Structure formats: structure tokens, C-alpha cells
Structure 1
């Protein structure tokens, strides 16, 4: 099925749209990593931006929480943020100094789970702001994005360890090495097939890992495309951003790739999200969101 590509300006050049998530209010929420703001795109195309009172805080990845709010990481001031759908924000400090929180996802236990890039730890924060940290067994692993798995655990990529880690809600960690050296995985999502899917920004590939740790790789035709984030659509197709190629890629259940080149220079797509209607949204570094909607027959 073809797609209609729509580019929506949401910020000035340099503000840095980065993470994107669908909110419980029907809005498309996004981070402005260089401006220290959270934005919301309404269905009618209206854009609202909310300052966080700390322009250098570096809001990165965000997710819908179990409490009806959006939760996000603040990489530069090492805090976890929360914003209501009416734009009221607050934040909570991470105990480890300089931790660099990055990926975040809602867990099966009613808490939010996040990665700490600089501290080799996985964090858990309750909706009341209580934080617990769990160390990873490898130093310098650079834990990146995280997702809830189909097995009741959390799964995250270890970018500098070329591995994927599984952590239970009790804090027990298992690490699964990946077969290709230099894969440098970043994005990860739960697929419709009961497995986890990740993208390797260094290896130029999409990977599948079962809950037992069995890995299958799907190399991209352009190994220099630098795939960054990945999300599963309602039909089981895997959508991912190709940061280095200015494209949105898709891998079908049949194992075949397709993709959509973004118009104009320096798109640099980062975060990606897919709605229940199959509409794909991605954040573009140059100040836009892209909307890929199924073409009407």
C-alpha cells in the first residue's frame, strides 16, 4: 500500500525534534532536545510548545505513561520529566550523578523504566517519582532505547557492547551478545510476532531476537543508512528511521524492505511512532514531523 507523505513544521531550525510518542489525548507529542521543550501536534495541525524551565536540560525520548501523562528523559540535567496533557510539567532527579537518562518505556508493573547512558544502569521510576537503579554487568555498554517485551520483562539495547539486555521487573539482568561486530544497536520494539526487533546504527541492519535470545539479522541495502529508532505497526510491519539516509524504512512480515525518502536536505529522522490507524510519525532534526498515512484506495 502506498503512503501519503506530509511534512509538518513544528519548530525553528536548531530546536531539534527528537523523540515522538502518541498521547492518550490523541495528540502527537515530541521532544525539542536543543530547546528544552516538549511539543504537541493536534489533529487539526495546531502546534503547542511547553517550556521546561531549563533550556539546556536535553529532553530526549518520551512515552505515554500509565497515569495518563507523558514521561520523558532529560539527558543533560539527569532528570526524568512528566508532563500532563494540559502542559503542566514536573521532574524528578536520578540518584546517580551524571547518569544521562535516555530511553524510557512504560513497564508491565505500572512504573516507567529508563536507561542511563553514562552509568551502565537501568532505572525504574514510579508515577510518584520513586527511583530505583539496577546495574548492568558490563562497563561502557551505553544502554540506549528500552521497550516492554512480550514476556513481562524489559528489553534494551547496549549500543557499545553490541548486545541486547533483558531485565525483569525484579531487576535481574541477562545480556545477549549480537553476532555482528559494530552493530551498535539503538532502537528496539516489541514485534507482533512475539519477538523483539532492533536496529543497528553501526551495522546498517534490522535484527530480530526471540525471548530465548535467538537472533536473526536483516541487512539493509544501504549499510550506511544509520537506522536509529524502530516501531511496530498494527499490521506487524516494522517502521524505522534511517538517520544517515534521510529515509523512513519499513520491513514487512515477508522479510522484504521498502522505504520512503524524505524530501529536502538534512532531514535526519530520529524518533518514530505508529498509531493504531497505521499512520507513522517521525521527528526530523531540521524542525519538522513527517506523517506517513496510508493512501486511500
Structure 2
């Protein structure tokens, strides 16, 4: 078996230990943008490590997942504030309240229609928001699903995890929803990303597996060496591999399209890696809940 690629890891302090860096994405300005779920702020870090912080009001809004929008701004969910937020690359912040009580928006991504699509974990709905702030909501056919992460698929549908329903869902641009139950009990899927192979890849935090689903619904699962690793978020790199965080094991993992898994220990103990994204420098960046952002540079 060939050796896994070597990776150098650098950690950058970006906040206090209680701020909770959580979601992370690459902006159009050549920087990484991340949420601080406990501090109620949005952070920005350049590949060189320069950090800027933009506080939210109120600080208790719980910013969670963040994504680049079609308007060059960054869009994020406010899980406890029940709002969708927007921040420009110059730091101007706006928010859009949701009409559904206790919606709990969590995952968010840009769709093929030029809108942002998001999950409502607390309300069993998928939401859509235009760049002008107009919101439409679509009820799920499952109750108590706790819809979590969401990603745009190669078929123009939005694919999302249903953490408590143990299933993967897909919604087309007209609002029609399909549900694909997972074969492994209590898998509890969370993160999901579009792979370079035309499938969607997701993590099973409850079962310690990485899953793959094709647009026609065929599911494969790949067990991690450490079944208690608690994989949380996943992203795809330019070379076609997927990278994921192991929240419970203090590691970042990599899986190739044919299912080979490599793992890398993070330098700081108990750093609780959450969100993960490829940066403009080709490195993999992950938000560490204990107040840092880590950069993994493959060699």
C-alpha cells in the first residue's frame, strides 16, 4: 500500500478558548472566513495568519455554518438567533429573521439558482433565501429529522443530512424532496459535500464512518479505523479527495474516491476540530473550537 501524503500542520490562535470557532469557508477575497459560535462573531484569516473579527448583535445568536454566496458576500446561519446572516468582505453585516419560530438554521450553501439554501434543524424544513433577503421554506416529509449540513449536488439538487432521521435528503429547485435512509443504524450523519466523482460524501458521527451517495441513491459506507472518532464536517479538495474532521479523536482525515483513508493528528490536544474547507492556497483549513484555526499543507 502506498504511503499517505505527508502533511505539515500550522495552528493560528484566532480567539479566546471559549469563543468556539466552528464553521469555515473560503471567501472570494482570498481569505478564510469562520464563525465563532459562542462569542457571536465572524472571523477572517488570511493565508498568512492575519485575523480580523466582526462581532454580531446579539452575541448569543450562535453563528454556525458559513458559505460563500453568489454575490461575493459570506452567508451564515444563526442557530440560536433563528436568522440568516450576511457579511461582505469589507465587514458590513446584515441579518434576515426567519418567520418560523425556533427554526434553528444550521447548514447553508449556494444553489445553482443563485440563491442560498439552508436547513432548519428545529423546524423540519429546508429554507431558501435570495440575495435580496426573500425567504421560502419547504417542509420535510419526516418529523424530528434535525436536518443538518447541506451541499449543492451535480444534479442541481440540494443534498442534506438528517441527523436524527438517519437519512440523506435531496430537494430540487422546485421544492420536491426525496429521502434516502442509511443502512447503518444510528449513523447520525452531519457534514456533507459534493465529491469530484459525481457523488455526495458525508460523515456519520454516530457510527464512525464516511458515506457516499450517488444522485440515484446508491449508498456506500467506509468504516474509520477509530469508530469512536466522531467525524463532523467534510469538504472536497481540488484533487478530488475528501477531507473530514474527527471531532472526538483530535484528527483530520482524508478519503480518496476509491475509499482509502489516511489520518493526521492535530498538534494541540483536545482541540475539537469542527468545520473544514480548502483555502485559496490549496491547503486544508479547519476551525478548532478551542480558539484556533489549523492549516494542513500536503506535500
* The two structures share one fold, judged by TM-score above 0.5: yes
1:292 matched to 2:296: yes
Question: Partners of 1:140 and 1:67 in 2: how far apart?
Answer: 33
Q: Deviations over 1:277-297 (max 9, x none)?
A: 5310000011000100123xx
Q: Which residue of 1 aligns with 2:63?
A: 59
Q: What secondary structure sits across from 1:81 in the alignment?
A: strand
Counterparts of residues 1-297 of structure 1 (less than 5 Å): 1-275=5-279, 277-295=281-299
Partners of 1:9 and 1:85 in 2: CA distance = 21
Deviation string 1:222-268 (CA, Å, 9 cap, x unpaired) is 11000000001111111000000000000123321101101122210
Contact 2:31 2:279 in 1 (8 A): no
Q: Deviations over 1:137-189 (max 9, x none)?
A: 00000000000000011000000011000000100000000100000000000
Distance 1:281 1:58 in 2: 21
Conserved? CA contact 1:12–1:287, under 8 Å: yes
Whether the 8 Å CA contact 2:31–2:280 is kept in 1: the answer is: no
Deviation at 1:45, TM superposition (A): 1.5
Identify the range of structure 1 (211-220 vs 275-284) with the bigger mean alpha-carbon deviation: 275-284
Task: Output the TM-score relative to the length of structure 1.
Answer: 0.98
1:129 Cα deviation from its structure 2 partner: 0.3
Question: How far apart in 1 are the matches of 2:47 and 2:90?
Answer: 15
Q: Displacement of 1:210 after TM fit?
A: 0.5
Q: Distance in 2 between matches of 1:248 and 1:118?
A: 29
Q: CA deviation at 1:276?
A: 5.7
Q: Deviations over 1:172-222 (max 9, x none)?
A: 000000100000000000000000000000010000000000000001011
1:264 and 1:289 mapped to 2: Cα distance?
Answer: 11
User: Is the partner of 1:267 in helix, strand or coil?
Assistant: coil
CA contact (8 A) 1:30 1:62 kept: yes
Q: What is the number of equivalent residue pairs in this alignment?
A: 295
Any idea what SS the aligned residue of 1:72 has? strand
**Structure 2: distance between partners of 1:294 and 1:4:** 7
CA RMSD of aligned residues (A): 0.8
For residues 26 and 76 of structure 2, the distance between their equivalents in structure 1, rounded to whole angstroms, comes to 13
